[in-house]
Amino acid sequence: MENMKVEVVLKQTIKPSTQTPLHSKTFNLSFLDQHLGPPIYIPFTLYYESGDVNNKNNHCDGYKNNLEEACEHRVSVIKQSLSETLARYYPLAGRMKEDNLAVECNDEGVEYFETRVSDVRLSQVIKRSPNHNSVLRKFLPPCISSCDNSMSIPFDYGFKSKTLLAIQVNIFECGGIVIGMCMAHRLADASTMFTFITDWAATARGAIEDIKASKIVELKRRNVNNIVCQDTSQQNTSPCTRVEAVTSFMWKRYMDSLRVWGVVYSYLRSRITPPLPANSFGNIYTFTIALSTPSDENDIDDGLRKDVSSPNDLNLVGKVRDAIKKIDDKYTRKLQSSEDELVNDVKPLTSGEAIFLGFSSWCRFPIYEADFGWGKPTWVSIGTMALRNTVFLMDTKSGDGIEAFVNMAKEDMDNFEVKLLADQ
């Protein structure tokens, strides 16, 4: 894929199909947006092979004209449905005010790019390569793809207009298409992004009833099932979730002689009383911290893969589970009544007293249901990441495995891979 070319052939601004009402011209950021919404973009890409584009025939050779017509139609549908969807998600078409505390919903629109990809087939991209992260970045809008330092991407990098959403549609010679997008994290979390994608796809295929107002490590089903989980802190055997299992498994392989804190991000929509709608807009999440020490690593050398005989043994599964349990009704009530709880939780992250490894689960989000009318994506990915020492977990397309998108410094990544491969 070294010879792959991605040429931008169109750049324009897509505006909402209808104007935002005067009473909705200002969208104030919540204190969660202000404290937990980092000044970066959330990158995401959806991959559709040629068979999904041309329903008349699943092969490219001999059907060039049909593929071109199908791609032209598809691009038209993408742009029109994007405009219609922005009318419902109008803050994304606005601009952040200078104080960064509110969005001016002025309908200026979102940046839209269209490219032609040559000298590579989409199937080659999906197979992945050693330089996969640099390849994926080319399918994202310039705010990320042109930035050399993926560890720290400024909020307005490459966009003088400070757009809150950017879309790039990449069309391959074989008929495959990749939709890359960047959404401002200051304004929205991953749940909001996936709700937007789901509604956008439903709009594209006319399913109005469905509309609601670096390094990649794949853990297949058998690998996940082999991670036997024991909650010894409760002195009984308690099966854990796939996310708890994989989080603990990867955390263990990252630990060394230093203290490593596991930071688990948790979405609050279902945890708040009364629960918020699943399609609530904004950064509606928090984080919880689980602390590991060198003694823990010695105590649980094989604790993730076999039964733990002593009820006094500490294990990372129990630590992860206990940390998540802290985000309960009592915690969310405190969070709603005062910012102090969140501010106090943030302090350890900035003190420099420990190393952090963050985990964000995107499992169970309907990321493989984004059908714009020509089939569901063959693959999805986060594209590239702006946060160091962070792991994003996503379901595989089959639904029975987990892909972990890992971002670390090169030296840490090399050591991490050695430990990880030794246990696969």
Question: Tell me: the pLDDT tens digits for 381-398?
Answer: 876 666 678 888 889 888
pLDDT surpassing 50 at residue 55: no
pLDDT surpassing 50 at residue 287: yes
pLDDT surpassing 50 at residue 300: no
**Which pLDDT does position 377 carry in this prediction?**
92
Beta-bridge mates of residue 281: none
Kind of pairing, strands 379-381 and 285-292? unpaired
Please state the CATH superfamily assignment of the domain spanning residues 242-296+314-422 in this structure: Chloramphenicol acetyltransferase-like domain (3.30.559.10)
Q: Tell me which of 27-31, 212-216, 280-284 is least confident.
A: 212-216
Distance CA 38, CA 34 (A): 8
Packing angle of the helix pair 190-204, 64-88 (nearest 10 deg): 120
Distance CA 213, CA 125 (A): 34
Q: Tell me which of 162-176, 239-253, 281-295 is least confident.
A: 281-295
Highest mean pLDDT among 46-50, 123-127, 271-275: 46-50
**Which pLDDT does position 236 carry in this prediction?**
47
Distance CA 304, CA 220 (A): 16
- 5-14, strands of its sheet edge to edge: 5-14, 110-118, 165-172, 177-184, 41-48, 379-381
Comparing 329 with 239, the larger pLDDT belongs to: 329
CATH class of 5-53+61-151+158-215: alpha beta
CATH 3.30.559.10 region(s) of the chain? 5-53+61-151+158-215, 242-296+314-422
Global model pTM greater than 0.75? no
Backbone CA torsion sign across 346, 350, 356, 359: positive
pLDDT surpassing 80 at residue 283: no
What value does the mean pLDDT of the chain take?
Answer: 75
**Which pLDDT does position 56 carry in this prediction?**
42
